[in-house]
Amino acid sequence: MDKFEEEWGKMLSGEIYNAVHPEFIRRLEETRVKIWEFNNLHPSKKEERIALFRSIVGDCGETFHINRPFRCDYGCNIHIGNNFFANFNLTILDEAPVTFGDNVFIGPNVSIYTACHPLEAAARNTGVEWAEPVTIGNSVWIGGSVTILPGVTIGDNCVIGAGSVVTKDVEANTVVAGNPAKVIKRIKNTIELGE
């Protein structure tokens, strides 16, 4: 195993790693080229857009829609379920895995972070960091301008209020809002359909 593969393995396992290794920079630049192409394709080129997005992320469900622009770091650490919708300006820093369940709906200007940096300036200035995964369950609605911090798991059927900063795990079937986000309501998840 070469030095880079060792550092990549550390990144994915949540250990401290050397984020300024030249191969990290090369992979980030390679992904940015694909993202630029995705964000700048003509709106009529739907099939090309879908194929390009699939080439950026690790895996993706059968149906999805991403309003551009979209941004991420590596892309390959993003895993998306079926029936996914993301509005404008979704940003994902995917140094650790970011996993979305089925039927996830994301408002505009949402940011999801996995990268963590040392508090001490001397250590931070060396370029070391670590990453913590983010997991988002099924049937989750994330409102506009939400920020989700490293290491957070959001349970099924949750609603994250617009402008919230999610700093810790969110229990399934709840509505959370605020900075930091707190439970403001529990959801029964029953559907009453008219005849």
pLDDT per position as a tens digit, 103-143: 999 999 999 999 999 999 999 999 999 999 999 999 999 99
Only one residue has tokens 């979704």, namely 90
pLDDT given for residue 2 in this prediction: 80
Q: Which of 3, 2, 8, 4 is nearest to 130 (CA)?
A: 8
Element (H, E) at 125: none
Q: What distance lies between CA 35 and its chain's CA centroid? A: 15
Predicted confidence pLDDT, tens digits, the chain (195 residues): 589 999 999 999 999 999 999 999 999 999 999 999 999 999 999 999 999 999 999 999 999 999 999 999 999 999 999 999 999 999 999 999 999 999 999 999 999 999 999 999 999 999 999 999 999 999 999 999 999 999 999 999 999 999 999 999 999 999 999 999 999 999 986 655 554
Alpha-carbon distances of 67 from 64, 74, 114, 144, rounded to whole Å: 10, 19, 22, 13
Q: How, if at all, do strands 17-18 and 128-131 pair?
A: antiparallel
* 82-to-17, 77, 120 alpha-carbon distances in Å: 32, 17, 41
3-state DSSP of 128-161: EEEECCEEECCCCEECCCCEECCCCEECCCCEEC
Q: What is the pTM of this model?
A: 0.95
Question: Edge-to-edge, what's the strand order for the sheet holding 64-66?
Answer: 64-66, 84-86, 105-106, 141-142, 159-160, 174-178, 181-186
Residue 191, pLDDT score:
58
Look at the block and give the residue holding tokens 């895993």: 79
Task: Please state which CATH number belongs to domain 3-186.
Answer: 2.160.10.10
Domain-by-domain residue ranges, the chain? 3-186
What CA–CA distance (Å, rounded) separates 50 from 128? 35
Among this protein's residues, is 117 annotated catalytic? Answer: yes
Cα–Cα distance, 132 to 140 (Å, whole number): 20
Which residue in the list 21, 42, 65, 117 is annotated as catalytic? Answer: 117
Rounded Cα distance between 96 and 59, Å, is 15
